[in-house]
Structure 1
Amino acid sequence: MGALSLAVACGVLALCLALTGATNPGFVVRITQAGLDYAHQHGIAVLEKELAQVKLQDISGDFRIRHVGKVRYEISRLDLRSFHLPYSRISLVPKVGLQVSISNAFAELDGNWRVKIHFIRDHGSFNLNVENVYIKISLRLGNDGSGKPTISTSDCSTHISKVRVHFSGRFGWLYNLFHGAVESRFRTLLEDKVCKIVVSSVRSELQPYLQTLPVTSRIDAMTGIDYSLVAPPIATAQSLDVGLKGEFFSLSHRSTVPFPPLALTLPPDHDRMVYFGASSYFFNTASFAYHAAGALVFEITDAMIPQGADFHLNTSTFSAFIPQLEKMYPNTPMKLKLSAPSAPFLNIGPEGLALRPVVDIQAYAILPSSSLVPLFLLSLTGNVSAVINVRSGHIVGSLSVGRMKLSLKHSDVGTFQVRTLQSIMNIYASSILLPRVNARLDEGFPLPLPDRIQLSNILVRFHQNFLLLGADVHYQPRG
């Protein structure tokens, strides 16, 4: 094989590896046109303030007038009093990015002038009106090495249709002879300055703000969420889609998730400013991370039994179901250790979110020496459903348990009828274990939001293999 053929083959192989290694997002953020319009309003307000503060350099030059001769002029102390952007819109450019179009903008400017014609000298003030300003800005979207979004100005053009200068002074007829040259200089100067301000504003204001989007969010002492971008944002004709990794991980030991995310396609909804698509992969990595961190282990002791209950966690209570316990360990306190042998996986469908966890329940007798003696090991399976909502920028939820089934995996106290324990295990699960789990779920998990964004008008819908959250946004400026 020749060198060229080998290079081509290697290139094709690299492309194939890149394509097969492409990662589906576990979490998708969709910004609709309504959301872009809202962000655009705030962006234009910032740009308007930036333009109103632009500093213009002094202008000087020579101009020759027929029958008069050479005119020397100086324009100084330029003060841009205002710059207004009354009409603008933001548009999606499929597969490219965003485009901002500003039309009929206008500005007002004051300054001083000085003129010399032979031995004649004069000075005074002037005001300048800039009208029919058209600005077109193209924005390129991407992601950096850390998975944060990036934005830059790929193109900017400014066209000013009309500049009118009004001089005050004794020789008004003379100034009108060369105002065209001055107006042309102002037009060129302002057109160049506007795009420089646009590029600077995107770099100094918009880009740092996008960088406040959290790539990783610490949830608690055990886990975090990876919200890094898996690819640059994708602009379509209807929305801007951002694919995020959407993966929980253990803080103590981050290991590779043993299952891939499925393709996630959001419905064409557009009633809200922003939509979040949380796939089953997103939630199942939470189970995987908490299981890997050893967090899915719970212990129940007699001290945790609700006050007013007419039973205790001891061998006397359990001897009603396992008579031999009272003989082997009379009136001995007990402890139940609940653990998941594997990470519980949930299913998301149009009817909601559900999981069928398997829980091992190891029962111990607590001897006077505080040592533990194993009694029996049960396996509990049950149908669990979930209610999901959004509060204060967090996904919150609560679980409810349906029918549970017990089976005996091992016994150190002889055989007994497991079904007789069903009712008391239901009580332990519903009154002790479930409230603890729901208390953690009520704290919630943070959504990927940049600084000072609040959500309202929340929508929650279930689809096959993903949860769809819709919301309107409100930006809360500092101060």
Structure 2
Amino acid sequence: MTSPFLNPPVPSISMAPLLLFSLLLLFFSNPTTSSESHISAIISSNGIDFVKDLLVNEAVKTMTPLELPDIQKTTKIPLVGYVTMVASDLILYELNVTSSSANLGDTGVEIVASGITADMSMDWSYSYTVGWIKISDKGNASVRVEGMTVGLTMSMKSNNGSLELTVSDVSCYIDECIISLNGGASWLYQGFVNAFKNHIRSAVEKAIIQRVTDGSSKLNALLQKVPKSISLDHISSLNLTLVSDPIYSDTSIEFDINGLFNSSSTKKEANNMWRNYNLKKGLHLSSDCNSKMVVVSIDEVVFNSALQVYFQAGYMNLLVKRLPVQSILNTASWQYIVPQLYVMYPNDPMALNISISSPPAVTVTEEKLIGTLYADVIVDVMDGNNTVPVACIQVEVAASGNLTMSGDSITGAVGLDNFALTLNWSNVGNLYMPLAEGIFRVLLNDVLMPLTNILLEVGIPLPAVHGFSLEDPYIYTSNSALFFCSDIAFSNNTSILFHTLRNVL
């Protein structure tokens, strides 16, 4: 098999809006759901305000122009009699929001936009009859709506592993409606204003409530299309199934996600043993994360499930034919380690066929990440055109390192802590292990560790969200979990995001 160390799969993830923010892809697969959470995503009050501002601003832009139904009213005016009045072509063409707020409760979020002003245009007409004579007139008018307040209360819950949005209340209240008529008989203006002011106010309130309700329904439909799984490559996918309803507090919303890697071929988690683990709650947040918009905690089990998927897929083999010190891969360099080898194959080139014998394990501590790896190294002699396996050595390797952020990518460095050798079998007699350790130290320090660090230096790009960029991201480790936190900002490429939101809202 091709080695992942030589040809590592490169994840390619494009997600758009996690609340929104994961929020706009096609379905992938429906993974097996575990009852435990291994990834938790917390959106702080600062993050909620960011989402609120985005939704409010885009909703305002999509709400205009807003057409209202015609209004007809017959009223009695002294000295005139019964007059039929019609307000038609009512169009609300501009909205301005002075302020907005998002308040978190035990079960949901309340978004309130206040101090809203709106401008409208309309046509008006009237007619009445004096004897056999019918008198009519018409004109146009401008309407100024002031002191409008719009409130939306919604909650989110898990529905079959997806996020479902439910609106419990939508309200709209208008303080003042000022009508300025143009044309027609001025003596009739005040009668028209008195007759239609409350009707126009009521029509605007009803239309706003309906538009907000419709937009919320469309946003909920969009949330249902957020994938429950994302394919990282042809080998693995990441289970994004929600395992519980969001958890609300006064300052944040927490989303608990399965987070385990699945095999893309079987659509199953690597092994049921991972179900025995659960993300430890109540871990101390770094002071650098307290004010960030988004905090994501990833249990060490997530890394181990990924390693197991690639192990089971057979992507942990490595054939070493070249080393910085190439003379090591020659039987002449092994004549004191295993004398019979040099007697049987004098001055022949060699190769080391490395295969991981069990899934590597990662442990996360407050100081660093610690990895343990067991590998079988088969020593091959290249005897002419023949490859002859002559011995198998089991290697136990312990390494550790740290992760850092470089731009929008996770990078890091790893170093060798220690290793141990055990002879599994040999066709060329016993090996002198103290001397063999020198060769394996070169192999680990000069090949495997540098190769791993090259990959880590390149970095793992974080999921790209159309229209957003990370701002001052920070990463650190705690007891059994890795934490990532960041603020969110608009990127230069916001057109796709805004186009999608406007279509939805």
| TM-score of the two chains, using structure 2 as the length reference | 0.83
Q: SS state of the match for residue 241, structure 1? A: strand
For residue 216 of structure 1, what is the amino acid of its counterpart? S
Q: How many residues align?
A: 451
Q: SS state of the match for residue 404, structure 1? A: strand
Q: SS state of the match for residue 327, structure 2? A: coil
Gaps in structure 2 of 5+ consecutive residues: 1-32, 497-505
For residue 234 of structure 1, what is the amino acid of its counterpart? I
Q: SS state of the match for residue 433, structure 1? A: helix
**Maintained 8 Å contact 1:106/1:131:** yes
Q: What is residue 113 of structure 1 aligned with on the other side? A: 124
Partner residue of 2:198 out of 169, 172, 184: 184
1:76 aligns with 2:83: no
Q: How much has 1:478 moved relative to structure 2?
A: 1.7
Separation in 2, partners of 1:448, 1:267: 25
Separation in 2, partners of 1:359, 1:409: 11
Separation in 1, partners of 2:139, 2:70: 15
**Compared CA separation, residues 390 and 201, structure 1 to 2 (3 A):** farther
1:157 aligns with 2:147: no
1:410 aligns with 2:418: no
Structure with the bigger RCO (C-alpha within 8 Å, sep 6+) is: 2
Q: SS state of the match for residue 272, structure 2? A: coil
Q: What is residue 311 of structure 1 aligned with on the other side? A: 327
**Compared CA separation, residues 392 and 56, structure 1 to 2 (3 A):** farther
**Maintained 8 Å contact 1:214/1:448:** no
Matches within 5 A, 1:29-178: 29-94=41-106, 96-118=107-129, 119-145=134-160, 147-178=161-192
Q: What is residue 16 of structure 1 aligned with on the other side? A: none
Q: What is residue 4 of structure 1 aligned with on the other side? A: none
For residue 59 of structure 2, what is the amino acid of its counterpart? L
For residue 257 of structure 1, what is the amino acid of its counterpart? N
Separation in 2, partners of 1:305, 1:212: 50
Matches within 5 A, 1:151-300: 151-204=165-218, 206-207=219-220, 210=223, 213-253=226-266, 254=268, 255-259=270-274, 260-265=276-281, 266-267=283-284, 269-300=289-320
Q: SS state of the match for residue 279, structure 2? A: coil
1:426 aligns with 2:441: yes
Q: How much has 1:390 moved relative to structure 2?
A: 4.1
Q: How much has 1:22 moved relative to structure 2?
A: 7.3
User: What is the alpha-carbon root mean square deviation over aligned residues?
Assistant: 2.4
Q: What is residue 495 of structure 2 aligned with on the other side? A: 478
Deviation readout 1:203-247 (Å, 9 max, x if unpaired): 33x446646755323223322222222223222111111111111
Separation in 1, partners of 2:232, 2:460: 7
Q: How much has 1:446 moved relative to structure 2?
A: 6.2
**Compared CA separation, residues 450 and 210, structure 1 to 2 (3 A):** farther
Q: What is residue 455 of structure 1 aligned with on the other side? A: 470
**Compared CA separation, residues 213 and 261, structure 1 to 2 (3 A):** farther
268-277 or 41-50, larger mean C-alpha shift: 268-277
**Compared CA separation, residues 452 and 231, structure 1 to 2 (3 A):** farther
**Compared CA separation, residues 23 and 393, structure 1 to 2 (3 A):** farther
372-381 or 432-441, larger mean C-alpha shift: 432-441
Separation in 2, partners of 1:443, 1:290: 20
Separation in 2, partners of 1:212, 1:446: 24
**Compared CA separation, residues 394 and 248, structure 1 to 2 (3 A):** farther
Separation in 1, partners of 2:450, 2:227: 30
**Maintained 8 Å contact 2:138/2:184:** no
Partner residue of 2:367 out of 341, 348, 351: 351
Separation in 2, partners of 1:400, 1:285: 22
Separation in 1, partners of 2:449, 2:156: 44
| TM-score of the two chains, using structure 1 as the length reference | 0.87
For residue 82 of structure 2, what is the amino acid of its counterpart? K
Q: SS state of the match for residue 188, structure 1? A: helix
Q: What is residue 9 of structure 1 aligned with on the other side? A: none
Separation in 1, partners of 2:76, 2:200: 18
**Compared CA separation, residues 394 and 150, structure 1 to 2 (3 A):** farther
**Compared CA separation, residues 160 and 173, structure 1 to 2 (3 A):** same
Q: SS state of the match for residue 66, structure 2? A: coil
Deviation readout 1:349-371 (Å, 9 max, x if unpaired): 1112112222221212233233x
Partner residue of 1:339 out of 324, 331, 355: 355
Gaps in structure 1 of 5+ consecutive residues: 1-20
For residue 114 of structure 1, what is the amino acid of its counterpart? S
**Maintained 8 Å contact 2:85/2:192:** no
Q: What is residue 11 of structure 2 aligned with on the other side? A: none
Q: How much has 1:451 moved relative to structure 2?
A: 3.8
